[in-house]
Amino acid sequence: MCGLAGAFDPGTEEAAWPARLAGMAEALRHRGPDDEGLWHDAKAGIGLAFRRLAIVDLSPAGHQPMLSASGRYVIAFNGEVYNFRELRTKLEASGERFRGHSDTEVMLAAIEAWGLEAAVATFVGMFAFALWDRTERRLHLVRDRLGIKPLYWGWSRGALLFGSELTALRRHPSFEARLDRDAAASFLRFNYVPAPHSIFEGFRKLEPGCIRTFDLAAGPRGGEGRLAAYWSLAEVAREGLTHPFAGDEHEAIDELERRLTESVALRMIADVPLGAFLSGGIDSSLVVALMRARATGPVRTFTIGFEEKDYDESEWARKIATHLGTEHTEQIVTAAEALAAVPRIAALFDEPFADASQVPTLLVSELARRHVTVALSGDGGDELFAGYKRYALFADLKRTLSRIPRGARRALGRALGAVPVDAANRLLGFADPWLRRYGSGGAAGDKIHKLAELVALPDDRALYQDLMSHWRNPELLVEGGRPRPA
């Protein structure tokens, strides 16, 4: 997994840098058990720390922080660039020579040859990195297109702190831990703290698909630097709507299979044991099937099950594993074992996070780590292929409400909201189609009151945000807090 941290703090004495960086690195040991690297330039006021989980090029040639061949750039990089071999071939054709076989070295060579923004646009993978330009005295923070890898940053007491986790930033003596009340309210609404915010005031997550550059030649300025987007999900979506796929259904299926196969194949590049999480659902089963088609040997799969049958999916995973012929490992978890994992969650997730799957995810990760170093999963499938119930619900509500004039919608919302719950229960037959789509549990009266809120919302964005909200009025619980939009 790896982890990086660093600081721009020109007030730090030469003798203090190693201990400060080592402290930040130690907070990331769980992300990178294989190696530690520290680098600093006290005169420039900059230092980088790194903990490594070795996946590609296990030799010392992959050690970080890494200097570019010319010595101009220093990088601390968390993640993987899957197409690094293709990029390496292109760079070698232009005369570049390499010391080792890591993707980090290829990234540095590409940045030197093509410039940062042009190079990052060619990187296919998941990554977050800090790049120090020793010539221009500029710090670049870069995050992958979808924000898979984390990267936090913020100014505190004249120091610019950055890293993979807030826990590492907290090890620096300049860090001030002040609760961001707006972020706390957002957490209560969405069950997580949306980017670019963090739970601590003054510290932010770098936006996905972006490069944030700090010109530090003149010393600390406390500003936000310059933000440049090298990729935009919104632009990609608009382009897809403007120029939709022109083939028929069969051609679409073939093209999707080709792209998924290529994607899985790229993620199987590793110099360490590889496996996959398998739940028995569509996403993870498809990933494992594509891995099995590409693998030259057995594929290792891992599943967590539960004694409570209502929550146990291990039977389906076992059937998929048998069908695909994987080397399958499962662990049935007791209620006591699941509860024992809960106290560790807060430290592992770095800031408040309330996804219901976090306990089984932790347990299956620990199970897999006993056997493999890298594990593929089906995470992201619901987001990319509209698998969540709220997507269909939003489309249904939007289509239905678009037929009602906005003034009439507000009046209807007020009227429904004014009906007492007991009386509303008797209206179930009238509102049955919407109520059943809204959710399977709860009294009809409660559902009608929720429906009243949805009907009265001013636009599509407000409607979708409401459907994503787990708590509609978190400002009532957090004094002085205002939830920010996701």
Confirm whether 117 is domain-assigned.
yes
Q: What is the pLDDT along the chain (486 residues), one digit of tens a residue?
A: 799 999 999 989 999 999 999 999 999 999 999 999 999 999 999 999 999 998 877 788 889 999 999 999 999 999 999 999 999 999 999 999 999 999 999 999 999 999 999 999 999 999 999 999 999 999 999 999 999 999 999 999 999 999 999 999 999 999 999 999 999 999 999 999 999 999 999 999 999 999 999 999 877 766 889 999 999 999 999 999 999 999 999 999 999 999 999 999 999 988 889 999 999 899 999 999 999 999 988 899 999 999 988 888 899 999 999 999 999 999 999 999 999 999 888 888 889 999 888 999 999 999 999 999 999 999 889 888 888 888 888 888 888 888 888 778 778 777 777 777 666 666 554 555 555 554 444 555 666 777 777 777 888 888 888 888 888 889 999 999 998 877
Co-location of 369 and 456 in the same domain: no
Q: Are 58 and 31 in contact (CB under 8 A)?
A: no
Task: For residue 110, give the CATH number of its domain.
Answer: 3.60.20.10
Using CA atoms, how far apart are residues 149 and 208, in angstroms rounded to an integer? 9
Co-location of 25 and 144 in the same domain: yes
Co-location of 139 and 224 in the same domain: yes
Question: 333 pairs with which residues across the strands?
Answer: 306
- Matching residue, tokens 């069950």: 191
Quick check: helix, strand or coil at residue 192?
strand
| Joined tokens for residue 252 | 């679409």
Co-location of 88 and 162 in the same domain: yes
Q: Are 247 and 34 in contact (CB under 8 A)?
A: no
| Joined tokens for residue 325 | 């012929």
Task: For residue 320, give the CATH number of its domain.
Answer: 3.40.50.620
Co-location of 329 and 255 in the same domain: yes
Confirm whether 140 is domain-assigned.
yes
Instruction: Using alpha carbons, select from 127, 158, 129, 284 the residue that is nearest to residue 221.
Output: 158
Question: 5 pairs with which residues across the strands?
Answer: 49, 163
Instruction: Using alpha carbons, select from 373, 273, 350 the residue that is nearest to residue 33.
Output: 373
Using CA atoms, how far apart are residues 222 and 202, in angstroms rounded to an integer? 11
Residues, the chain, total? 486
Co-location of 102 and 83 in the same domain: yes
Co-location of 144 and 277 in the same domain: no
What pLDDT, on a 0 to 100 scale, did the predictor assign at position 440? 47
Instruction: Using alpha carbons, select from 141, 158, 235 the residue that is nearest to residue 196.
Output: 141
Q: Are 2 and 79 in contact (CB under 8 A)?
A: yes
List the catalytic residue out of 2, 333, 374, 435.
Answer: 2
Domain extent at residue 21: 3-176+209-234
Q: Which of 328, 353, 380 is the last residue of a domain?
A: 380
Co-location of 156 and 19 in the same domain: yes
What pLDDT, on a 0 to 100 scale, did the predictor assign at position 427? 56
Confirm whether 465 is domain-assigned.
yes
Instruction: Using alpha carbons, select from 206, 29, 195, 46 the residue that is nearest to residue 131.
Output: 46
Using CA atoms, how far apart are residues 463 and 482, in angstroms rounded to an integer? 18
Confirm whether 196 is domain-assigned.
no
Using CA atoms, how far apart are residues 456 and 449, in angstroms rounded to an integer? 11
What pLDDT, on a 0 to 100 scale, did the predictor assign at position 174? 96
Using CA atoms, how far apart are residues 144 and 142, in angstroms rounded to an integer? 7
Using CA atoms, how far apart are residues 373 and 54, in angstroms rounded to an integer? 9
Confirm whether 90 is domain-assigned.
yes
Instruction: Using alpha carbons, select from 50, 22, 47 the residue that is nearest to residue 35.
Output: 50
Using CA atoms, how far apart are residues 116 and 126, in angstroms rounded to an integer? 16
- Cα distance between the two ends of the chain: 26
pLDDT tens track for 79-126:
999 999 999 999 999 999 999 999 999 999 999 999 999 999 999 999
Confirm whether 144 is domain-assigned.
yes
Question: pTM for this one?
Answer: 0.91
Co-location of 133 and 16 in the same domain: yes
| Joined tokens for residue 201 | 């005031």
327-333 and 300-306: which strand pairing?
parallel
274-277 and 374-376: which strand pairing?
parallel
What pLDDT, on a 0 to 100 scale, did the predictor assign at position 436? 53
Q: Count of CB atoms within 10 A of residue 483's CB?
A: 23
Q: Which of 347, 380, 413 is the last residue of a domain?
A: 380
- Matching residue, tokens 């010109």: 215
Residues 6+ apart with CB under 8 A from 136: 215, 217
Instruction: Using alpha carbons, select from 144, 183, 179, 145 the residue that is nearest to residue 164.
Output: 144
| Joined tokens for residue 18 | 């190693």
**How many domains are there within the chain?**
3
Instruction: Using alpha carbons, select from 34, 99, 94 the residue that is nearest to residue 67.
Output: 99
Co-location of 23 and 122 in the same domain: yes
Confirm whether 239 is domain-assigned.
no
Co-location of 220 and 74 in the same domain: yes
Quick check: helix, strand or coil at residue 77?
strand
Q: Count of CB atoms within 10 A of residue 319's CB?
A: 12
Confirm whether 427 is domain-assigned.
yes
Residues 6+ apart with CB under 8 A from 423: 445
Conformational region of residue 219, where left means phi above 0, alpha means psi within -120 to 50, and beta covers everything else? left
Co-location of 376 and 393 in the same domain: no
Q: Residue 391 class from Cβ within 10 Å (0-12 exposed, 13-18 middle, 19+ buried)?
A: middle
Task: Identify whether 2 is a catalytic site residue.
Answer: yes
